Chain A
Amino acid sequence: MTRFLANNGWTLGLAGLLAMLLVATKMIQPEFGVSGLDSLGRASLPFALATLGMAVVVIAGGIDLSFASMMAVCSVTAALLMEGASDGTSALVVLAVLALGAAMGAINGTLIVVTRVPDIVVTLAMLFVWQGTALLILNAPGGAAAPWLRSLIVGGVALPGVSPALTEWLPKSLVFLLACLCAIWLPIRRSKLGLMFYAIGSDASAAFRSGVPVGRTKIAAYAVTGLFAALGGLSVTMSTGIGEPIPGPYLLAAVAAVVLGGVVLGGGRGGLLGPILAVFVLRLVRMDLTLMSVDPNVTTIVEGSIMVVVVMLGGVLATRGRRT
């Protein structure tokens, strides 16, 4: 039990912090309830997916600065292809966009492995490339999302035979997020591939000596990240109903949530639960500030400052860790 606490102390602390923030929200806004949770869930969804994607590649010892741009490419592709499409076609579109995301990620990874240019430089260059690609596909916000997709993340869960009063508290968007997590990350985490992600992030040369194909594993990690970028892009289109070619503020938010969630920049340590909790903590802080009718721009400043301080603390901790 103590061992469990020691290993998961950070995550539990985050969960506690999240609970406290929820209580605080209820105190600030007594009528905070079903609709509040729903809008929190929907607003958090793209951030949460971005964080998951970033967490995977950071665990594997990399970083993907092009993440928000890949989301934009996927968002506009989906919105453009779905405009006026039937349900069946739009389902195909979803699959195609997922493949597109994974392919973009794999391109990033391959470029890193082949050119031997550091991750951070390659993905910085690719940030511009994917950004330009999104603009070429759709020059201004537009397109449409299939209605059935939208209904996937709007409102609370309804189960036949169970009173809606019980299920409506659970936002569909949260269920969607957990479904993505279970469908993609759990199988990886349980397979050898997941171990190899941790291995190359933790100590690439020890991993090589243990027989891990370091280059191929890295490409795979970037592909998974690309897959999450596709989901993130889809979620933007799903919640706004249009495609958005200008990348949102997801990059820094994702890096901050990853660090706050206990994943060490540099790789090898942390899970995905912590980062998800961290996303909700950060989103809830923003929501509370808005509820307290703080100027939205001030909210942005506060949020940005929190993120930068988190990243700076993470940097200090990483330096400390190296010294001992």
Chain B
Amino acid sequence: MTVTDTPPRARIGRFMAANPLVPLILLLIALLGLLEAMNPGIINRLWLANAIKIAIPLAMLAACQTLTMLTGGIDLSAGTAATIAAYVTATLSPLIGVPAAVAVAVACAALIGLVNGFGVAICRVHPLIMTLGTGLIATGCLLVYQRFVISTGTHIPDFLVWLGTGRTVGLPNGLVLFIPFAVLLIWGQRRTGFGRLLYALGSNENAARLSGVRGWQVYLSLYSLSGIIAGITGLLYLGLVKTPSLSLALPLDLPSVAAAVVGGTSIFGGRGGYAGTIVGALILTVLTTMLTLLHMPEGARRILFGLIILAVTALYIRLTDRT
């Protein structure tokens, strides 16, 4: 190793920036070790398959956060969009058939995203406030909708149950959906013009503008895409939980933000990517298992996740700030 005059903090920052996955995977392995030490024998094939099964919807919802966070935004309506998609599918399937129900469900989620995109892109409302607001309205719509369909009964399409809970050669079937999804996203964020623009807008909106990027086009498309991803996540989660409820995916909202942040995506934009988010989702799943084993109450879990978000963000500023 050569001796340089770079302070160690900056060196660590550089290393983390260049290879964000390495420390994350090390952390994941360390947490797994700790879990095994707490409760010897807990980690086996069955537990692993189960953990992956639970982590998949979280990782998919965290994709919404990752993509929006790359531009310096956030999507707090993702959990609501997922819930609505799930509820609509379950209630409409007996009425209009599975394919039509799924199409309507995803369209609803996309509509939520479109409204977010309109507010963020055209009206320049902060994404946090905008997505919080559409989430609230959408929840109201769901409650109204519920009163009309309450008597029709629900049906959960078989293929969603297969995807959500089934296992093939010991691996959860959800991977059939998730692996192509993840590959597409990781490839697309680097190798498509749209992906590049997400990073560009998050790094320096003004520079992107001077290079001829019309930001509103990107934001509008991005938030619509985020809505669609949330909708698909909702379908998968419906298959996993198997009972539609009015707050189905809402408990995933906070962990999805935390997974993206832990996975190395900067909440200020311009840095990170989906690969890290997947590891982040796995880390949070293991962490949740540990907290459950320790009989930690829900309140403690929220405090911990909040502090993780704050600490990682503050650390990020410390590591990258040179002035």
Do A and B come together as binding partners? yes
CB within 8 Å of B: which residues of A?
A: 65, 111, 115-118, 120-122, 124-129, 131-137, 139, 249, 251-252, 255-256, 265, 295, 297-298, 300-301, 303-305, 307-308, 311-316, 318-319
Contact status B134-A316, CB under 8 Å: no
| A224 CB → nearest B CB, Å | 21
- 12 A-B pairs, CB-CB below 8 angstroms? A115-B317, A117-B313, A124-B128, A125-B309, A127-B306, A304-B133, A304-B136, A308-B119, A308-B134, A311-B129, A318-B124, A319-B124
Q: Is B314 interfacial (CB 8 A cutoff)? A: yes
| B193 CB → nearest A CB, Å | 26
Q: Which residue of B lies closest to A135 (CB)?
A: B299
Q: Is B143 interfacial (CB 8 A cutoff)? A: yes
Residue of B125, B268, B306, B313 touching A128 (CB-CB under 8 A): B306
Contact status A125-B302, CB under 8 Å: no
CA separation between A304 and B313, bound complex, in Å? 31
Contact status B299-A252, CB under 8 Å: no
Given A249-B136, A252-B136, A308-B137, residue A128 in contact with residue B317 (CB < 8 A)? no
CA separation between A133 and B303, bound complex, in Å? 7
CB neighbours (8 Å) of B114 from chain A are none
**Of residues 157 to 195 in B, which have CB atoms within 8 Å of A's CB atoms?**
none
Given A111-B310, A121-B267, A124-B309, residue A135 in contact with residue B317 (CB < 8 A)? no
CA separation between A58 and B147, bound complex, in Å? 38
CB neighbours (8 Å) of B268 from chain A are 118, 121
CB neighbours (8 Å) of A308 from chain B are 119, 130, 133-134, 137
CB neighbours (8 Å) of A251 from chain B are 132
Q: Is B196 interfacial (CB 8 A cutoff)? A: no
Residue of B123, B136, B306, B309 touching A316 (CB-CB under 8 A): B123
Contact status A136-B132, CB under 8 Å: no
| A47 CB → nearest B CB, Å | 14
CB neighbours (8 Å) of A316 from chain B are 122-124
CB neighbours (8 Å) of B305 from chain A are 128
A interface majority secondary structure: helix
Given A65-B128, A116-B317, A120-B126, residue A128 in contact with residue B309 (CB < 8 A)? yes
- Give me 14 other A-B pairs in contact (C-beta within 8 A), A111-B310, A125-B307, A128-B303 excluded: A118-B268, A120-B128, A128-B306, A129-B307, A132-B299, A133-B299, A139-B299, A252-B136, A255-B129, A297-B147, A298-B144, A301-B140, A305-B137, A315-B126
CB neighbours (8 Å) of B310 from chain A are 111, 115, 117, 121-122, 125-126, 129
| B288 CB → nearest A CB, Å | 14
Q: Which residue of A lies closest to B313 (CB)?
A: A117
CA separation between A301 and B136, bound complex, in Å? 8
CB neighbours (8 Å) of A139 from chain B are 297-299
CA separation between A76 and B310, bound complex, in Å? 25
Contact status B130-A311, CB under 8 Å: yes
**Of residues 194 to 234 in B, which have CB atoms within 8 Å of A's CB atoms?**
none
CA separation between A122 and B310, bound complex, in Å? 6
CB neighbours (8 Å) of A298 from chain B are 140, 144
CA separation between A313 and B130, bound complex, in Å? 12
Q: Which residue of B lies closest to A318 (CB)?
A: B124
**Of residues 82 to 136 in B, which have CB atoms within 8 Å of A's CB atoms?**
119, 122-126, 128-130, 132-134, 136
CA separation between A313 and B303, bound complex, in Å? 34
Q: Is B141 interfacial (CB 8 A cutoff)? A: yes
CB neighbours (8 Å) of B302 from chain A are 128-129, 131-132, 135
Query: Which 8 residue pairs across A and B have the least CB separation, nearest first?
Result: A135-B299, A128-B306, A132-B302, A132-B303, A136-B299, A125-B310, A300-B140, A301-B140
Contact status A134-B314, CB under 8 Å: no
**Of residues 63 to 89 in B, which have CB atoms within 8 Å of A's CB atoms?**
74
**Of residues 281 to 323 in B, which have CB atoms within 8 Å of A's CB atoms?**
297-307, 309-310, 313-314, 317, 321
CB neighbours (8 Å) of A303 from chain B are 140
CA separation between A42 and B310, bound complex, in Å? 36
Contact status A311-B144, CB under 8 Å: no
CB neighbours (8 Å) of B122 from chain A are 316
Contact status A129-B267, CB under 8 Å: no
CB neighbours (8 Å) of A121 from chain B are 267-268, 309-310, 313
CA separation between A301 and B115, bound complex, in Å? 14
